[in-house]
Structure 1
Amino acid sequence: MRKALVSTLLFISCSVTVQPGFAQTSNTALVPLPSLDDFTQGQNGWSFGLGLGVEYETAYEGSDEFGFELQPAGAIQWRNDNHIYYFAGEALGWRGRVNENWLLEGALGFDEGREEGDSDDGYLDGLGDQDESFELVFQARRAFTSDWRYWLVSRIVSGGDGNLGLFGVGRRFGDQVDGTGHEVNLVAVFHDSEYANKGFGVNATQAQASGLPETDVDSGLRSFGIDYSFRHYINKNWQLYGEALFEYYSSDVRDSPIARSDYETEVGVGVIYIF
């Protein structure tokens, strides 16, 4: 969740079964969840979506500064029956439905890190800039029913700066099978000490340069969160999407001098043109 609860993915399975309740038809998404963009409209082969969104969000994890930011949207996707391979900005990945109730995903993503200049008020001065890095993201969703009304979700993020795990439950609203509608997830997020201290720790060198107290954050519960996704076809080619998240930090994170707020929040809307 470096700047998101939302996004991303796990292992390729060699065997795929197509269930009658999910037989591929025109405009049928791989799974009918608005949080997962699917521009293939039920067809094998290449698809391409390009758009733009605007987000109102915290400046960095733990910040009490907010601002607007323009974000590109869309992806290049290639579908082969129950598998979609994609390139989406800063992520290269695969998503596959291995049976009626299981969705697995895996991706290589890019983390931009944190810079002192992310705080306009100077709250990060002396902490130094964090290096950019790549992260592996693995995700699995297990639906309780074939229409994906309710599901369990798990996500693991692993990179050179520790590991993060997310576990939760979700619900879809609406009867569409084209990936539009509304979706809500309730999650608990955990991190190891390395990941925790990259975001909220202050080592001895940083403490001397910044004047903040030296802080070591233990592994364990990071936060509880809720996220919401919305997707709607304006017409065959234009798609409207929106998302919102709220993440409430655990007491260990709130005690960090970097966490100037008890929570992180983000709201975004945008449009995508599907070619």
Structure 2
Amino acid sequence: MKKLIGSVLAVIIHGLFFQTALAEDGKTALVPLPSVEDFTRGNDGWSFGLGLGVEYESAYEGSDEYDFEVDPAGAVQWRSGDDIFFWAGEALGWRGLRSSTWLFEAAVGLDEGREESDSDDGRLDGLGDRDEDAELVLQVRRAFDADWRYWLDGRVVTGDNGSLGLFGVGRRFGDQNDGTGHEIAIAVVFHDSDFANKDFGIDAEQSAASGLNETNLSGGFRSVGANYNYRHYINENWQIFGEAVYERYSSDIEDSPIARNNYEAEVGAGFIYVF
């Protein structure tokens, strides 16, 4: 996967230096949602945004330990009409707009895994490390009208460690068409047994090494949550963004010794320079 990302990045960098510069007067995003990054300014061809984000988040799924984390922000994108191909962080993907009210997306990314050292309090001691794994993400959003004031969201994440499904509804605030403004969404999340046990299960070997009770979760309802997004251009090139996420776990997850809280929350903010 890392070799694939490296190869694609090399192609993207080549394109950035040899494509004709884009005009700066376009302002229409693929869809006007702050949660969907679009640096193209409505123009076909290459676009590039680079910045930093700071998040205050849990150390791992279900943790009651929180800390700050600084990560790169932005993406490299190539647009052709109503289609955008992108490389963002550890994800390579495509998204396309159809009939003004349907947005489809497919991406391959990496699940970040988990290490015993993620817990400073030793809560993961004996559970071993879980390596990063590739995941396929498929998403579709359906707007109620062409201005994307309200929309429905469906998402599937699947890989070697199981599958997760999300169903949500959202509302956009503001009248901008450049992908800035505010939006809020609520969603319910389901997972299969493999995905549930990836984060919250404890097998016999882990139980013996950690002293925690053996735990085997079944599939079904995982959580209900809310997500808030904000994006704003300070000037022609500088953009600021913010996000807040809250996820309330099901009773099955609450019963796992790994889940130190019955919820997970995070907030983040950052800036991006759009070239």
TM surpasses 0.5: yes
Aligned to 2:76: 76
Question: 1:82-231 residue pairs with structure 2 within 5 A?
Answer: 82-231=82-231
Aligned to 2:242: 242
Distance in 1, Cα, partners of 2:36 & 2:111: 20
Distance in 2, Cα, partners of 1:154 & 1:125: 36
Structure holding more helix per residue: 2
Gaps of 5+ in 2: 1-24
Aligned to 2:10: none
Secondary structure (helix, strand or coil) at the match of 2:197 reads: helix
Secondary structure (helix, strand or coil) at the match of 1:209 reads: helix
Aligned to 1:272: 272
* Alpha-carbon shift at residue 166 of structure 1 (Å): 0.3
**Partner AA of 2:218 in structure 1:** D
Secondary structure (helix, strand or coil) at the match of 2:117 reads: helix
Distance in 2, Cα, partners of 1:47 & 1:205: 49
Query: 1:181-224 deviations in whole A, cap 9, x for unaligned?
Result: 00111000000000000100000000000000000111000000
Distance in 1, Cα, partners of 2:127 & 2:104: 37
* Alpha-carbon shift at residue 257 of structure 1 (Å): 0.4
With normalisation by structure 1, the TM-score equals 0.91
Aligned to 1:50: 50
**Partner AA of 2:77 in structure 1:** Q
Aligned to 2:3: none
Distance in 1, Cα, partners of 2:245 & 2:272: 20
Does residue 61 of structure 1 match 2:61?
A: yes
Q: Compute the RMSD of aligned alpha carbons.
A: 0.7
Distance in 2, Cα, partners of 1:181 & 1:234: 12
* Alpha-carbon shift at residue 34 of structure 1 (Å): 0.1
Distance in 1, Cα, partners of 2:207 & 2:265: 27
After TM superposition, which residue ranges in structure 1, 4 or more long, deviate above 4 angstroms? Answer: none
* Alpha-carbon shift at residue 132 of structure 1 (Å): 1.1
* Alpha-carbon shift at residue 100 of structure 1 (Å): 1.1
Distance in 1, Cα, partners of 2:174 & 2:101: 18
With normalisation by structure 2, the TM-score equals 0.91
Query: 1:211-267 deviations in whole A, cap 9, x for unaligned?
Result: 000001110000000000000000010000000100000000001000000100010
Secondary structure (helix, strand or coil) at the match of 1:127 reads: coil
**Partner AA of 1:185 in structure 2:** A
* Alpha-carbon shift at residue 99 of structure 1 (Å): 1.4
Query: 1:12-38 deviations in whole A, cap 9, x for unaligned?
Result: xxxxxxxxxxxxx82100000000110
**Higher RCO by CA contacts (8 Å cutoff, separation 6 or greater):** 1
Distance in 2, Cα, partners of 1:113 & 1:260: 18
Aligned to 1:6: none
* Alpha-carbon shift at residue 98 of structure 1 (Å): 1.3
* Alpha-carbon shift at residue 66 of structure 1 (Å): 0.3
Identity of aligned residues (%): 66
Secondary structure (helix, strand or coil) at the match of 1:205 reads: helix
Distance in 2, Cα, partners of 1:85 & 1:232: 23
Aligned to 2:37: 37
